[in-house]
Structure 1
Amino acid sequence: MSVREIRLLGDPILKTKTKPVRNLEDARQLVGDLLETVALPGRAGVAANQIGVGLSVFAYNIDGELGYLINPEITFLGDDRELIEEGCLSVPGLWHRALRHKEASATGFQLDGSKITISGSGLMAQALQHECDHLAGKTYLDRLEPTERKIAYKELRSQKWFLG
């Protein structure tokens, strides 16, 4: 298990939909790496494609609760939505207001084959939506209102790290 480097926007893997994990045992090392990577301070979630792996797995670290989901699917989104400040490890230095549901649930698998559902509000709901978006080949920038997206991409083009 090791902390893995985060891929930055412009890397094609971030815009590619991930593939489902077929053999849970094959995901053991990946889950360990994701958990170590997300455990660093200031990190709420990391999707597998953010570390260069095109499989449907993410790890989260919300209020000291560390966990993961394999082959997650959003199973519930509350009716109430809000514009909330959001950032991303793959888009460092940029924060913009994205429209997110205040409550969300995602169902997926653990390495032992058990199926679990993670539910939450606030930051947990935001993280579930954000990480599932990554696995679908989207970033939070895709969720911005048109005017906000224009501002974000202008800022993005001025970033030294930007690969686009």
Structure 2
Amino acid sequence: MSDEKLPILLVPDPRLRLKCRPVGEGDGDAVRALAPRMLATMYAAPGIGLAAPQVGSDLRLFVLDCGGKDTPEPMVLVNPEIIAESKERGLREEGCLSLPGLYADVERPQRIKIRWRELDGTRKEMEADGLLGVCMQHEMDHLNGVLFVDHLSALKRNMMLRKLAKELKNKARDAEGG
């Protein structure tokens, strides 16, 4: 298995807006090859979650690790689905590797119940809240072509996206020596 890092797609790449297809029986080798590379990419970024569309894949798969440096808890979720969510909602600041440097408070359900398959095909289910619950919901959004800024008002979202576009344009210009 390769720990080779993958390029992370940045907004406005249209692949970030596509709905991912379920992982099927014929996708096993591709998923087993992709998952460790996604984890390596996420750790190097550094981030706590990364969804397949962020690295150009259309598979319903994401990786995350909310355990911290001293107690890593890497997870690979294949064909995840949120099967229940609490009525109680909470605000938490979110950022995204595909929108570097942008952060905003996003309102989401405080608790979720999620089901997925592991790389070996084992079916898993758990309840999650706090940082883990938010991270799972954020990565699920990616699998459906939704970005965290889509949960903001149009005015705030447009201001943030314009700021990012300007920063990326300046970085590209500086890299060209202009």
The question of 1:3 aligning with 2:5 is answered yes
RMSD: 2.0
More helix by share: 2
How does the TM-score come out when normalised to structure 1? 0.90
**Between 37-46 and 120-129, the greater mean CA deviation after superposition:** 37-46
SS at match of 1:156: helix
CA–CA distance in structure 2, aligned partners of residues 88 and 41 of structure 1 = 10
How does the TM-score come out when normalised to structure 2? 0.83
SS at match of 2:65: strand
Name the structure 2 match of 1:68: 76
SS at match of 1:74: strand
Displacement of 1:147: 4.1
Assess if the C-alpha contact under 8 Å between 2:60 and 2:78 holds in 1.
Answer: yes
Give the AA of the match of 1:73: E
Deviation digits for residues 117-157 of structure 1 (CA, Å, limit 9, x no counterpart): 24321110111100000000111011113443243234233
> Highest CA radius of gyration, 1 or 2?
2
Assess if the C-alpha contact under 8 Å between 1:82 and 1:101 holds in 2.
Answer: yes
Taking a change above 3 Å as real, the CA distance of residues 18 and 41 of structure 1, as seen in their structure-2 partners, is closer
Displacement of 1:97: 1.4
The question of 1:82 aligning with 2:85 is answered no
The question of 1:151 aligning with 2:165 is answered no
Name the structure 2 match of 1:130: 138
Taking a change above 3 Å as real, the CA distance of residues 161 and 73 of structure 1, as seen in their structure-2 partners, is farther
Give identity over the alignment, percent: 33
SS at match of 1:39: helix
5+ unaligned residues in a row in structure 2: which ranges?
A: 173-178
The question of 1:20 aligning with 2:12 is answered no
1:22-101 matched pairs, under 5 angstroms? 22-23=24-25, 25-26=28-29, 27-40=31-44, 42-63=46-67, 64-101=72-109
Assess if the C-alpha contact under 8 Å between 1:105 and 1:117 holds in 2.
Answer: yes
5+ unaligned residues in a row in structure 1: which ranges?
A: none
